[in-house]
Amino acid sequence: MLIVSSDHHLQHHPELEFFEGELKRYHDTPERASIVLAALREAGVGPIIPPQDYGLTPILALHSPDYVDYLQHAYQRWVADGGIAAGVYPDSFPVRRMSRRPAKLSALAGFYAFDLTAIIAAGTWEAAYYAAQCALTAAHRVRDGAGAAFALCRPPGHHAHADLCGGYCFLNNAAIAANWLASAGSVSLKEDAALASHPPTQRIAMFDIDFHHGNGSQDLFYERSDVLFVSIHGDPDRQYPYYLGAATETGSGEGVGYTVNYPLDAGITDDRYLQVLRLAIERIARHQPEFLVVSLGVDTFAGDPFGDFQLTAAAYPRIGAEIAQLNLPTVFIMEGGYAIEQLGRNVAGVLIGFQTK
């Protein structure tokens, strides 16, 4: 399986985040991606290639121009305004009935964020931009017949909305790839200036198996029927991102029936998880997609500091093998996973299980 990876993520390394009432070491460390890459290399999963640069057009097809402009320039503007060099840290949020867009950078930081985890440090834009390019490169190769590809994206993306960062996410890599596959059809990425206005030509399924609900991905496609969004995750009544992810959320308008959530209890074990996974896969098969985009997080692992599922390492090859049963051209996009010691093995497990069926 083709692996797309870029060193640009190394430039994104915020040191601290506000977590459980304290300033703690930032969880999304550069070593996360380095560990996964080393494990994939060691396991011989496939050739590793750098991303192509497709520019901003496929990003702007999903994210709002003002938000993208903010991400590009926030750090420099923050520092120029006297902000600390460690990164942009929002402290005010326009929740309920407060919605005006302010001019001041420190206030924009809250305007474009829904939590305190998406810290914009000096190299964050570069990292986020190339993570999206990794996802697009993987999608492009799969569209051109590669069968399957894995984009080692960091920062992750599935929590990012059209104009909101959060959950360590800035640009929604998986959604950008899915949207490109859905709307670009046979149009080359190089010549698709009008991509945003292309009518949908392909049926896509997004399958989010990160421990956390993919609130950004759901929101981006909530009113669309061409991109099915299916997610298995910790019940938002007890787990982040709390404010989306219920089973009652099924889409709206044209998208009714094209969002499917499987919120699960704490303590889920391998066999029960695989049962739910098979249900989700049956739903995906009924959509008859041309392409599958998997948001691959392994924070479902028993040892993960964020999750409360109890999956063992043995679950991951089984998950990969079940997904392979769909027999679809598949783009895997790296999302979460914070049990550093087992992170590489678990990601490799899914991809190897997929390849060996």
Supply the residues annotated as catalytic. Answer: 159
Shortest CB 306 distance to Zn ion, Å: 6
Alpha helices in 81-208 (DSSP H): 105-111, 124-141, 173-184
What is the length of the chain? 357
Residue placing its CB nearer to Zn ion in the complex, 115 or 299: 299
> How far, CA to CA in Å, does 74 sit from each of 55, 66, 110, 177?
19, 11, 12, 25
Give every CB contact of residue 49 below 8 A, 6+ residues apart in sequence.
Answer: 2, 3, 4, 5, 137
φ, ψ of residue 176 to 5 degrees: the values are: -65, -45
> Residue 336 or residue 349: which is nearer to Zn ion going by CB?
336
CB of 158 to Zn ion, least distance (A): 8
Smallest distance, Zn ion to C-beta of residue 300, A: 9
**Nearest-approach distance from CB 113 to Zn ion, in angstroms:** 17
Q: How many residues touch Zn ion (CB under 5 A)?
A: 6
CA-CA distance, 104 to 121, in Å (whole number)? 18
Binding to Zn ion, residues 201-260 (CB under 5 A): 210-212
To the nearest whole angstrom, how small is the minimum distance from the Cβ of residue 231 to Zn ion?
11
Torsion angle, alpha carbons of 13, 39, 132, 280, to 10: -120
φ, ψ of residue 161 in degrees (nearest 5): -95, -175
Instruction: Please name every residue paired with 165 in a beta bridge, in sequence order, or none if there are none.
Output: 113
Give the span between the Cα atoms of 224 and 228, in whole angstroms: 8
Q: Which of residues 292-321 bind Zn ion (CB under 5 A)?
A: 297, 299
Under a CB-based contact definition with an 8 Å cutoff, are residues 8 and 152 in contact? no
Rule CB under 5 A: which of 110-139 touch Zn ion? none
The answer to whether the beta carbons of residues 117 and 338 sit under 8 Å apart is no
Identify the DSSP state of 111.
Answer: H
Radius of gyration of the chain (CA): 19
Question: 3-state class of 326 per DSSP?
Answer: coil
Position among 90, 320, 336, 349 found at the interface with Zn ion (CB under 5 A) = 336
Name the segment binding Zn ion (CB under 5 A); options: 129-137, 200-208, 246-254, 332-340.
332-340
Q: Position 6: which residue type?
A: S
Q: Which is nearer to Zn ion, 192 or 299 (CB)?
A: 299
- Residues numbered 31 to 70 that lie near Zn ion (CB under 5 A) are none
Give least dist CB 335 to Zn ion, A.
Answer: 6
CB of 198 to Zn ion, least distance (A): 31
Which residue's Cβ has the minimum distance to Zn ion? 336
C-beta separation of 149 from 155 below 8 A? no
Helix/strand/coil for 11:
helix
Touching Zn ion, residues 152-211 (CB under 5 A)? 210-211
> By CB under 5 A, which span of 58-66, 104-112, 122-130, 329-337 interacts with Zn ion?
329-337
Answer yes or no whether residue 263 interacts with Zn ion by CB under 5 A: no
Q: Which of residues 9 and 287 has its CB atom nearest to Zn ion in the complex?
A: 9
Which one, 212 or 318, has the nearer CB to Zn ion? 212
DSSP letter at 16 equals E
Nearer to Zn ion, 192 or 335 (CB): 335
- DSSP notation for 78-104: HHHTT--TT-B-------SS--PPPSS
**Looking at beta carbons only, is 210 or 270 nearer to Zn ion?**
210
Residue type, 314: A
Q: Which positions touch Zn ion (CB under 5 A)?
A: 210-212, 297, 299, 336
